[in-house]
Structure 1
Amino acid sequence: MVTADSALSCSPMAFRSVLWAEWVKFRTVRGWLIGLVIAVLVCVLFTYLVANGTHSGTCTGTGSTCQNGHPAVPTGPDGEAVADSYQYLSRPLSGNGTITVQVTSLTGLVSTNPTNVAPTLSATRPGLAGWAKAGLLLTPTTSQGSSYAAIMATGGHGIHFQYDYTHDQRGTVSADSARWVRLTRVGDTITGYESADGTSWQDVGAAHLSGLPATVQVGLFVTAPVTFQGETGYSTQATGSFDHVTVTGTTDGDWQSHSVGMNEADFYPTLGTGGSRSSGNGFVLTGSGDIGPAVVEGILGSDTVSSTLLLGLIVGLIVLIVIAAMFITSEYRRGLIRTTLTATPQRGRVLAAKAIVIGGIAFMIGAGAAAAAVPVGEHLLAGNGAYVFPATAATVGRIVVGCGLVTALTAVAVLALGAILRRSAGAVTAGIVVFVLPYVIGSSLSGSTATWLFRVTPAAAFSVLDVLPRSALVDYPYTLANGYYPLPAWAGLLVLAAYAAVALGAARLLLGRRDA
């Protein structure tokens, strides 16, 4: 039978009262409030110290080097880091027009020296990277990072139409067929076509390149990216042979050869100098590099908006672990838990209220500290001449919210450990061992052990700091050793949430069975 008093104790209004009571308990303890301020300050301070001590990196720009001597990383039309290196044979095209060519062969060389050793033509073997490219390219300018559209034959992926570095559409012509490709311009719309015989054509894709000038560059290009064996990268070079080159439309000027970005300071190291030459009625181009999204491999000393935040987040997390544990263990130490449970016999509600309070506070502290620390670190890195890998506002927002969720879930889990262990020292130690130590250990290891730690332990949640791009257009080992977490941010948070849920479940079970 449900009495009026028991019904009242189970009502939403009663739970709000419990929630308010727990909030009042927290805010009236001056030491905990000071601890929150300390958590924010140490996060920002350690971010400052790490960023201020970083003085090497790779700068952005359109030239081969920047004033600090570091290689430049091109920036694409949308502000993203890109690879933009290729051999180009082009001529001006005014207004609308079409260019057609047959790619008669695509061959290559692979350096037998890893990418940290200068490639030489004497240390090579025959081979072709899967994303080696040869075809037609239209661009308003040969400056690195310019907008473009291209139709190409590749070393191992068939015919592709790509534009502005991140957009890709695949054709259907077999790699074993005669590879004919065509680009047409109508206003700002560029369309790529493929053909197996040069007679029957089908479109592969189209791109709208807004703001194209009246006169653009159209022509042949060849490029070949780094290829990998395991974790080791090797520079490659590709040679494309072209025949039956035709251009319709208004063309002014002769064919001009350009080695775009192909020098020692380029994003992708080159193999040889490349070049263009006539061959019968066609042309032969040799080049190295890539046209596509940038990955971290080629950016020595690069940093991200979150790399400097990491140490500060860990130190701030330890401070919050102490506060979360004491939020409940202090009541056991002073015997006040009996008063709390007498006032609210629904023990699960007490635990839920405490979890909501500490989780909400930890979220605000974690997110606030990240929001303050990220621009500080980025500003200092840029001032020191280090290259900061571009991140969109949405990515930075995800990092800030992610840091808040990591601190909130950790605080809730440690609160549960406090309810289970009833001792501050034990709960704090257990919290650090379970929620911080796996990251420290995993960061010092390599291979499958480190990957395992970042998949199945709470360290998985640190994947919220991952801002490095992955792309199917770049063959690259996206491993932990190369700065890529094994789980996406949402999956890493789910792992941490599972730990918090198990801890809360165990705490609720023991809280109901044991005497206060």
Structure 2
Amino acid sequence: MNRRLLRAEWTKFRSVPAWVRAGAAAALMILVFPVLGMGGAGGGESTQVPIGPDGVAVSDGYYFVHRPLSGDGRITVQVASLTSARAPQAGAVPWAKAGLIVTAGPDLGSRYAAVMVTGGHGVRMQHDYLHDRAGQPAAARWLRLTRSGDTITGEASADGATWSEIDTVRLPGLPATVRAGLFVACPPRVDGIGTAVDAATAEFGEPELSGGWPAETWTGDQIGAHTATFAGYPRGVTGGFAPAGDGFTVTGAGDLAPATRGDLPVGAAPSDLLYGTFPALIVIVVVATLMMTTEYRYQMIRTTLSAGTGRIRVLAAKAVVIAGVTFATTLAAAAVAVPLWTRLVRGLGIYVFPAPPGDLLRAEAGTAALLAVVAVLALAVGTILRRSATAVTAVVAVTVLPYFLALIPFMPPPMARWLTEVTPVAALAMQQTLIRYPQVDTIYTPANGYYPLPPWAGMAVLCGYTTLALAVAAVLLRRRDA
């Protein structure tokens, strides 16, 4: 790259005060717009968010039929049936759960290990909300949990005679006396473009106990009923348990799982704290387009190209200048906005989904990078169309409009995902820090902060569009008369 040409283009840029002010305004928008992106009110009257052993928000709600277990022991039971109260088809919500659980105590977010039958995912063993393992045989209806110190082993059987181990897990700090027994949970089911609360009912056989079980009666409790992540019961349905022969019938709602944006719509994610990306993008598109269209409008392009340095080099120099300026200013703004607004939002009592430092750095740098690439895209489109209004409209239509269409509440999730897969908006995946959990069914859409592509794949989509536009611009710039 010719340094003299770069210096000339940089001088042109900073000699237009309106462009410099617009660059500063774009950075300011990233700093002042974040709260507009946060979800609306939701989560019921309670704002208490259960926090699991790993420090993340969790759903900790289920109906628990329990007794104390002192020291080591074992519990075995048959789950004869599992059905949902409101599921439109026969059977149960896919992640409805019924089985055995050992929990460290009554505090929300306590450590636990559970073995369970599910409505549509076979038999599983889960512990501490984040960890899930499938068991065999998938159609097993007999379950067993064994405690030995702080180690819990889960097993399953199809006939109650031949057992297969699902997993053995360690729960550090497990007290000498724990609560253990039967549980039923039923998360909201996905229903079209939203979710609907539901409840599950399970028929248990007689629990078989061995080890340190004091001679006490079974007690039933609804766990987590007054938390922000508990969706409640359908109208006309309540949780509870009742004797059924030698066993029990148990009805429960809620979930034991990591919390998602669907569970905490009023919670904030780092992408919400970068909501100023959108107004900043429009300002940057205007400036980048004007860098080329202004030269055509005032016939300055003849002078620029007459220097004999090569038309492609001129286009490249402009691209480097606008991309460099955009990246530097918006990176500084994003690096300040995320920690600043995180502290302010938490101070207001709003839960902020945590993210590893590396993911936050990627979101901040990725925001600056996608804005820089969009600036180059706008420059290329301006070169192709040579008219400011037309070029700005075209770039905004392909970089902003698809995202706002994806945010429409009645937009079908497949369409919302498609819009953020094949359009330049896919690059917004660089801002995603929320985790898509395979053991949680919810509405994983861009409106909730979940993008269909991984961050770098989304960025590659935008880069592909920009490369194509630059190639067309270079060909036209060489062939056209100035």
> Is this a same-fold pair by TM over 0.5?
yes
Corresponding position: 1:295 with 2:296: no
2:453 and 2:378 map into 1 onto residues whose CA distance is 23
**Among residues 127, 131, 134, which one is paired with 1:170 in the alignment?**
134
Residue aligning to 1:156: 120
Any unmatched runs of 5+ in structure 1? 1-13, 59-64, 113-123
Give the 3 Å change call, closer, same or farther, for CA 368–204 of structure 1 in structure 2: same
Q: Aligned partners of 2:430, 2:337: CA distance in 1, in Å?
A: 15
CA separation of 1:26 and 1:161: change in aligned 2, threshold 3 A: same
Residue 143 (structure 1) aligns with: 107
**CA offset digits 1:291-334 (Å, max 9, x no partner):** 11223334354443323532x22111122112212333444455
Deviates more, 1:412-421 or 1:258-267: 258-267
Please state whether the residue corresponding to 1:72 is helix, strand or coil: coil
Q: Say whether the 8 Å CA contact 2:125–2:132 is kept in structure 1.
A: yes
Structure 1 length as normaliser, TM-score? 0.81
Matches within 5 A, 1:267-278: 267-271=230-234, 272-278=237-243
Per the alignment, residue 10 of structure 1 pairs with none
Distance 1:437 1:221 in 2: 46
Given that residues 102 and 114 in structure 2 are in contact (C-alpha distance below 8 angstroms), is that contact kept between their aligned partners in structure 1?
A: yes
2:475 equivalent to 1:512: no
The alignment partner of 2:199 has SS state of strand
State the secondary structure of the residue aligned to 1:286.
Answer: strand
Among candidates 408, 422, 431, match of residue 456 of structure 1: 422
Is the counterpart of residue 361 in structure 1 residue 337 in structure 2? Answer: no
User: 1:102 aligned to 2:77?
Assistant: yes
Equivalent residue of 1:297, what SS?
coil
Letter of the structure 1 residue corresponding to residue 224 of structure 2:
G
Aligned-pair identity (%): 44
For normalisation by structure 2, the TM-score amounts to 0.86
Give the CA deviation at 1:509.
0.6
In the alignment, is residue 472 of structure 1 matched against residue 472 of structure 2?
A: no
Equivalent residues of 1:40, 1:366 under 8 A apart = yes
Q: 1: distance between equivalents of 2:454 and 2:208?
A: 47
Would you say 1:85 and 2:61 are equivalent positions? yes
How many positions carry a matched residue from both structures? 477
8 A contact 2:58–2:229 mirrored in 1: no
Q: Distance in 2 between matches of 1:331 and 1:365?
A: 24
Structure 2: where are the runs of 5+ without partners?
Answer: none
Partners of 1:440 and 1:42 lie apart in 2 by 18
Within 5 A, what are the aligned runs for 1:332-481? 332-333=296-297, 336-343=300-307, 345-444=309-408, 446-447=411-412, 450-479=416-445
Quick one: which of 181, 195, 199 aligns to 1:233?
195
* Deviation sequence 1:312-359 (CA, Å, 0-9, x none): 221111221122123334444555544544545333233223222322
Q: Which amino acid aligns with 2:181?
A: G
Q: Structure 1 residue 192 and structure 2 residue 154: aligned?
A: yes
- Give the whole-Å Cα distance in 2 for the aligned partners of 1:471 and 1:127: 23
Give the deviation of 1:486 after TM superposition.
4.4
Instruction: Please provide the CA RMSD for this pair.
Output: 3.3
Q: Is the 8 A contact 1:99 1:218 kept in 2?
A: no
Q: Distance in 1 between the 2:308 and 2:176 partners? A: 76
2:286 counterpart residue number: 322
Q: State which of 453, 456, 472 in structure 2 corresponds to 1:490.
A: 456
The change in CA–CA distance for 1:224 and 1:393 in structure 2 (over 3 A counts) is: same
Return 375-384 or 204-213, whichever deviates more: 375-384
Contact 1:109 1:125 in 2 (8 A): no
Report if aligned partners of 2:49, 2:227 keep a CA contact under 8 Å in 1. Answer: no
Shift of 1:33: 2.8
What is the 5 A alignment of 1:56-67?
Answer: 56-58=41-43
Shift of 1:409: 1.3
